[in-house]
Amino acid sequence: MEAFYITAPGETEFRSLAEPRPGPEEVLLEPRLIGLCGTDLSTYRGKNPLVAYPRIPGHEIAAAIVEAGCDVPAHLRPGLHVTVYPNTFCGACASCRRGRANACKFNQTLGVQRDGAMAGLFTIPWRKVVEAPHLSLRELALVEPLAVGFHAIERGRVSPSDAVAVIGCGTVGLGAIACAASRGARVIAVDIDREKLSLAQQAGAHHAVSSAEPSMHDELLSLTEGLGPDVVVEAVGTPGTYRLAIEEAAHTGRVVFIGWVKEPVSFETSFFVHKELDILGARNYLNEFPTVIGVLAKGGFPVDAAISATAPFAAAGDALRRWSESPRLFTKILVEMGAVEP
């Protein structure tokens, strides 16, 4: 079978691999759609410190079960469309002992610390398989990245009384927007790109504010009775957006950081104390997959609009190159691995 590798910064190739066989508690999966995300882009650009080359990417997965091991429950039958929890956890580190295995010190994510799903077939423990037969393959491929945003809203303890500003309207930011809106919060989307702001409103944002405009601060105050947002979610990962989140949050507000800045960030730390902010990180997800699936099943999320481009498996390297050259043109790229159904 063929597998797609990122072999070095800016370099990709296909290699032949032997077909895997499932163990007693594993399923053999044929990937149908794989989403490329910012982590894959960082790997391609040589800016992901967690990756050793060569690496098979792929952790945003829509797949079909091909074969199940002898100890796999009978309901996980061949032909069933599924998505996958791509992370591992050790069960013994401080995070795992606190019941927060999403932040396991020794986590290994498909496509990052270990080879991912961009191959003809791959195996996975059956407990990592999530079925949602009422979702399309496109929707299944979006569950994992949206769950990252959903987890950030859980970390921010968002309630219906909150005004929530989400900085960055990529797929993860759209997840945060959709989740906050589903909780009844008033959601303000913030981005430099007008098209992404329009998409954010389709995902549930009540207001859209351009961070490119000098009036941004005044707009946020106007939309929050002069107080600032109760919760600010940062979903970009730049020094400027990290500072912006701290500066715009209301006094005693909550700031949730998802984006991973690849360089040191300087803060005016008096904001931390003077505002008495709750400053939180959000990594991966815990139990958010079912909630995401429920929101997608209701049909309100703009699935097709959120997908910027699709590419055949053979053109995966070209898709990464185009994204690297023009990052603002893309929100989500899906790679078609096999026969894709609507």
In sequence order, what DSSP letters do the residues of 90-130 get, joined into one string? Answer: -SSSHHHHTT-GGG-TT---BTTTB--S-BS-EEEEGGGEE
The percent of the chain in helix, strand and coil, each rounded to the nearest 5, is 30, 25, 45
Distance from C-alpha of 80 to C-alpha of 27, rounded to nearest angstrom: 11
The CA distances from residue 290 to 41, 135, 145, 233, 333, in Å, are: 27, 12, 13, 21, 23
- pLDDT for 342: 36
pLDDT at 329 (0 to 100): 85
Please state the length of the chain.
342
Question: Both tokens of residue 215?
Answer: 């009036």
Q: What is the CA radius of gyration of the chain?
A: 20
| Residue 204 region by backbone torsions, left for phi larger than 0, else alpha for psi between -120 and 50, else beta | left
> How many Cα atoms are found within 13 Å in the side-chain-facing hemisphere of 59?
24
Tokens encoding 52: 């050793």
Instruction: List per-residue pLDDT tens for the chain, 342 residues long.
Output: 999 999 999 999 999 999 999 999 999 999 999 999 999 999 999 999 999 999 999 999 999 999 999 999 999 999 999 999 999 999 999 999 999 999 999 999 999 999 999 999 999 999 999 999 999 999 999 999 999 999 999 999 999 999 999 999 999 999 999 999 999 999 999 999 999 999 999 999 999 999 999 999 999 999 999 999 999 999 999 999 999 999 999 999 999 999 989 889 999 999 999 999 999 999 999 999 999 999 999 999 999 999 999 999 999 999 999 999 998 888 899 999 974 443
Give the pLDDT of residue 331: 85
pTM summary value: 0.95
Sign of torsion, CA 94 95 101 103? Answer: negative
